[in-house]
Amino acid sequence: MSEFIKKNIYLIILFIITLSIGFLTFLTFIDKGFIELNDQNLQYLLIINIILLFSLFIFIFLEIKKAIKNDIDNDGLKSNKKYITYFALFTLIPSVLISIFSLFLFSFALEKYFDKKVTTVVNNSYELARSYVEEIKNKIQSEIVLIAFDVNKSKKFLNDNKDEYKRFLNTQKIIRDVDEIHIIDLNKKLLFTSLETSKTYKAPVDKALNLVLDDDRPLKIINAPENISASIMRLQNYENRFLYVVKYLDENISRYLNESQEAINFYYTVEEKSTGIKISFAIIYIIVVSVLLFVSISIAIRFSSRFFRSINNLIYASSSIGDGNLNAKVPEVKTDKDLELLNKNFNLMIDKLKNQQEKLIINERHEAWESLARKLAHEIKNPLTPIQLTIDRLKNKYSNLLESKESKNFDENLKIINNQIKQIGNLVNEFSDFARMPKPTLRFNNLIKIIQENIKLLNQLDTSIKINFSCDTDLINFKCDKEQLSRVFLNLIKNSIESVKQKSEKYPHYDKKIDIEINENDIYIMCVIIDNGVGFKNISSNIKNILNPYFTTKKNGSGLGLSIVNKIVNDHNGTIKFVTIDDGAKIIIEFIK
């Protein structure tokens, strides 16, 4: 998920900006945004929405095209593209249908929102609250006339006595069902009041007082935000005195009145801008659907590429195998576990086929060379005996007849011939050994012990060469022919010693060493021999030929030693590899348990 976000960070930022502008446009249409609702602002917002939406479409198109080019076209499988197309269509068609249905449903709901019955209910709810307030105002207006009448009539009785006025005003407050009664002067100064303390007194506005200076009629005052309804009236029997009466409104009704007013304003704003609201809603929906469609197509591409890349690799590998190329491998890619297992098993199958083919080739080659060696040994060995007998006769017959100097030359020549006959005899013996390689007799043997015995034996050839042997255990049981495997390790270690000796002729004081390591796991037993001798650099281009019979890099070598080693390893279900390293040679032997 984090990789997907990182890969599409610019698209995500563009999507968030476009979606935010879409919501801002919607809020502006319903007059709930921070941008003022007017035609110019709406026009700018719609233009920005169209530009961003168009940019989003282009960005999505380019990203999908890029993903198809990287993940699908490279694979080149028709079924891959077909399934991506199907997946995209199956995502696109329901999305389009849902979009159309949702837009239709929203439009239908918006039309119902402005139904006549709804409009009537909205208007009536406001009128109900307004009527209540109006009734309170009218009641205050009528009550203030009666209170003024009683105050004018009781002028002599009250005689500006504060206690009498307070008792009188409180009585009027209870009778007339009002909350506050005040008598004020021209400067709005409180003369008499029904309040316990004058600190809570709030004077009327100047405008209200000025309107009743020369008018004997009462004036209604309403202040809904402060939940009060009041009225003021000039007292006729007094000079520059005014009666000020206050009635507190029900807090819930006042709040409801304000909310109803806001709701009505919002209702008619939405009704007026319904077309714009539909457009902004459509834009928001298109943005969301576009991004969801992009996400679904991206997931489809990724899923398809992960799945079909493995299929493609298997197809290409199987085609290569069909053409005889057993070096083909299925690349290891991150995909579903089942496909990873299939790829792994397919590669194992290729390895097994390759090993079987190599073993078959080796066996056929060895059979051919064995037949040739048998014939060569027979053809060469037959004339060796009569030649040796003839040389003996010549020596016996002519040695005494020649002079001392000539006799000495004669004996030296016969000795040279004898040496050559011995070399030919040794070669014949090697041919015979190669031709008569017996099938291995398999028994469980300790490989570590076999190697240690050969190291002990070969250490005597050159004590200046340090042979290091390492292993994590003291016992590795392996079903093998002890004599044949001993011959393998003897030949290989001996070759390493000869390689090190050959290099020491040129560099007499260098550190001569051979490292041997053996370890095992559940499947393989691996033995590695590394020496710092002359190595295989001179034959690195055709190093595989080193295992062919009669291929040798030694002056007097027969070329059969490594071939015999290869056959023995092959008969023990193993493989041998020769690797060129910077300072010497490396031999890897693997046996399948």
According to the model, what pLDDT value does residue 99 have? 67
| Residue matched to tokens 């918006």 | 110
C-alpha span between 581 and 246 (Å, rounded)? 108
Query: Comparing 46 with 582, which gets the higher pLDDT?
Result: 582
Record the tokens describing residue 46, joined without a space: 């719609």
Do 167 and 183 meet the contact criterion of CB atoms below 8 Å apart?
no
Q: Is the pLDDT of residue 550 over 70?
A: no
Q: What is the pLDDT of residue 544?
A: 67
Q: For residue 577, is it left (φ>0), alpha (ψ between -120 and 50) or beta?
A: beta
Top mean-pLDDT range of 4-8, 82-86, 159-163: 159-163
Q: Contact 4/67 with Cβ under 8 angstroms?
A: no
What pLDDT was estimated at residue 331? 65
User: Does residue 385 register a pLDDT over 70?
Assistant: yes
Look at residues 549, 193, 215, 190 and name the one whose alpha carbon lies nearest to residue 374. Answer: 549
Burial of 196 (0-12, 13-18, 19+ CB in 10 A): exposed
Name the least confident of 421-425, 439-443, 494-498: 421-425
Query: Each residue of 1-20: pLDDT tens digit?
Result: 566 566 667 767 777 787 78
CATH of 443-592, one of 3.40.50.1220, 3.30.565.10, 3.40.50.920, 3.40.50.12160: 3.30.565.10
Mean pLDDT: which of 200-209, 327-336, 352-361, 492-501 is highest?
492-501
Written as one string, the DSSP assignment of 579-590 is EEETTEEEEEEE
Q: Is the pLDDT of residue 115 over 60?
A: no
User: What mean pLDDT value characterizes the chain?
Assistant: 76
Residue 376 has pLDDT above 80, yes or no: no
Q: Quick: pLDDT tens for 253-297.
A: 666 667 776 766 666 666 666 666 667 667 767 777 777 677 666
Number of residues assigned to the chain: 593
Mean pLDDT value across residues 231-244: 88
Interatomic CA distance for residues 427 and 468, integer angstroms:
33
pLDDT band at 411 (very low <50, low <70, confident <90, very high): confident
Looking at residue 383, what is its pLDDT?
Answer: 76
Q: φ, ψ for residue 386 (rounded to 5)?
A: -60, -35
What letter does residue 273 receive in the DSSP assignment?
A: T
Amino acid at 419: N
| SS3 state of residue 181 | strand
- The domain spans of the chain are 2-113+273-314, 138-263, 337-435, 443-592
Confidence at residue 570, expressed as pLDDT on a 0 to 100 scale: 86
Helical H segments across 436-512, by residue range: 447-458, 482-506
Which comes out higher in pLDDT, residue 256 or 151?
Answer: 151
User: For residues 70 and 574, which has the higher predicted lDDT (pLDDT)?
Assistant: 574
**How far is C-alpha 113 from the chain's CA centre?**
46
3 state SS of 509: coil
Predicted pLDDT at 525:
93
Ranking 55-64, 236-245, 452-461, 525-534 by mean pLDDT, the lowest is: 55-64
Name residue 182's beta-bridge partners: 193, 244
Question: Would you say domain 138-263 falls under CATH 3.40.190.170?
Answer: no
